[in-house]
Amino acid sequence: MDLRLQRVVGTAHGAHLARPVLYVHCVAEGTDGWGECAALGTGTVVDPPLATVVDRLQHLDAGPVPGWWRDGFPDPLGAPTPPGGLEPEGGMDAAGRLAWAAIEMACLDAALREAHMSLARWLGVEEAVVPVGGLIGMPADRRTSRVVAAAERVVAQGVRRLRVKIAPGFDRAPLEAVRARFPGLLIQADANGAYRPGSRGPDDARCLEPLDDLALGCIEQPFPPDLPLHAVAHLAARLATPVALDESLVDQAALREAVATGACEVACLKPGRLGGVAATQAAATFCQANGVPAFIGGFFESGLGRAVNTALSGLPGCSLPGDITAPATYLAAAPCAGLPADPDRLPPRGFARTSDSPGAGPSPVVERRAAQPISLPVSGRRPLGA
């Protein structure tokens, strides 16, 4: 079943109106766990659609999923080996990473519940609250006034950072208007790969140079992810505004290469795309070690996936506000939002609180009627030490 977004989110390549929900149910001995799949219904330029990931999950060929549990306090980097059927010849592809991220989350959720441990504690996250970033899309009529109105609505929620979608011919005007309305706000421009080097048209990358005087936090994914990284690095050297990469960062190797070439000055880390919690923790550690600011990006998750992203946003390597606004702010129906019931535990304005409850996030009790889960047995059980 698709959950509807409250508003259409327009990008340079189309618009998002609905969010399909798929859960993986980890059937362990005595404790169950749940994982949420990040795949979108129609996919993206680098991520396959949900149907492709579902097919991969339904054709695993290794029987029970290897267990997650170990003695002592666990190391997030010691992830288990993915089951057969996720790694075609040549290594795990995009569908495999999305599928594995959901499986990993479900297994980890079960293990953490058994150990009465929260995901934030397991990751070693020390901060209970983390800053929240917001997102606004492009209106269908490309009217700047609508962008400003959308920015006002999102900023009213208290976000500490705002991502603004741009496209060729609709970049300077909306960003300039939002900057004038919010002179002190951290603003990022998100191009979704819509520009080209030397095209001599409205999508020419030189059109991004006049944005330097707007004091943007970064320009995200200016070129398509299939363009050579040296072209991105050349643009980054010309711009005063840092260049961020999103769709180009499909795995650990891509991140390392992008940083090494100078193409990635800011990193958008999306757990589902990278392959899950352990992969994202490793990516954040790499970014911190190499002085690259990073933030957690989202796929319009429901409460479970958003809770996981919130915990990951507390990692030391994630120094920028992540896409962790509450699902109730963007989904027409926001099941398992995971918000604290105690008013005394509500986070400060503009921040989200990491969960201190056992597990990866709130179980999708309400959502089980909204989406058919895929259940997987788990083998090799060993208690996760507290």
Q: What CATH number should be reported for the domain holding residue 40?
A: 3.30.390
pLDDT of res. 86: 64
Q: Are residues 163 and 100 in the same domain?
A: no
pLDDT of res. 75: 45
Q: Are residues 188 and 91 in the same domain?
A: no
Q: Which of 56, 97, 160, 270 is catalytic?
A: 270
pLDDT of res. 353: 92
Number of structural domains, the chain? 2
Q: Is there a domain that residue 291 lies in? A: yes
pLDDT for residue 361 is more than 60: yes
Show the domain range for 48. Answer: 2-117+362-379
pLDDT classification of 302: cutoffs 50, 70, 90: confident
pLDDT classification of 126: cutoffs 50, 70, 90: confident
Q: Is there a domain that residue 231 lies in? A: yes
pLDDT for residue 128 is more than 80: yes
Percent of the chain with pLDDT over 90: 57
- Average pLDDT value for the chain: 84
Q: Are residues 198 and 301 in the same domain?
A: yes
Q: Are residues 153 and 293 in the same domain?
A: yes
pLDDT classification of 9: cutoffs 50, 70, 90: low
Q: Is there a domain that residue 384 lies in? A: no
Mean pLDDT of 344-359: 82
pLDDT for residue 346 is more than 90: no
Q: Are residues 136 and 263 in the same domain?
A: yes
CATH number at residue 150: 3.20.20.120
Q: Are residues 173 and 294 in the same domain?
A: yes
Q: Is there a domain that residue 101 lies in? A: yes
41-73: pLDDT as tens digits: 888 889 999 999 998 888 775 455 554 444 333
| Structure-token match 């901060």, residue found | 127
229-287: pLDDT as tens digits: 999 999 999 999 999 999 999 999 999 999 999 999 999 999 999 999 989 999 999 99
pLDDT classification of 222: cutoffs 50, 70, 90: very high
Q: Is there a domain that residue 257 lies in? A: yes
pLDDT for residue 97 is more than 90: yes
pTM of the model: 0.89
Q: Are residues 347 and 369 in the same domain?
A: no
Q: Are residues 111 and 129 in the same domain?
A: no
Lowest average pLDDT, out of 102-116, 213-227, 303-317, goes to 102-116
Q: Are 103 and 376 in contact (CB under 8 A)?
A: yes
Q: Are residues 183 and 326 in the same domain?
A: yes
Q: Are residues 79 and 212 in the same domain?
A: no
Q: Is there a domain that residue 385 lies in? A: no
How many C-alpha atoms does 335 have within 13 Å on its Cβ side?
Answer: 18
Q: Are residues 86 and 134 in the same domain?
A: no
Q: Is there a domain that residue 386 lies in? A: no
Q: In the annotation, is 165 catalytic?
A: yes
pLDDT of res. 107: 85
Mean pLDDT of 73-83: 49
pLDDT for residue 335 is more than 80: no
pLDDT for residue 385 is more than 90: no
pLDDT for residue 340 is more than 50: no
More confident residue, 225 or 11: 225
pLDDT of res. 57: 85
Q: Are residues 294 and 232 in the same domain?
A: yes
Q: Which of 16, 121, 165, 273 is catalytic?
A: 165
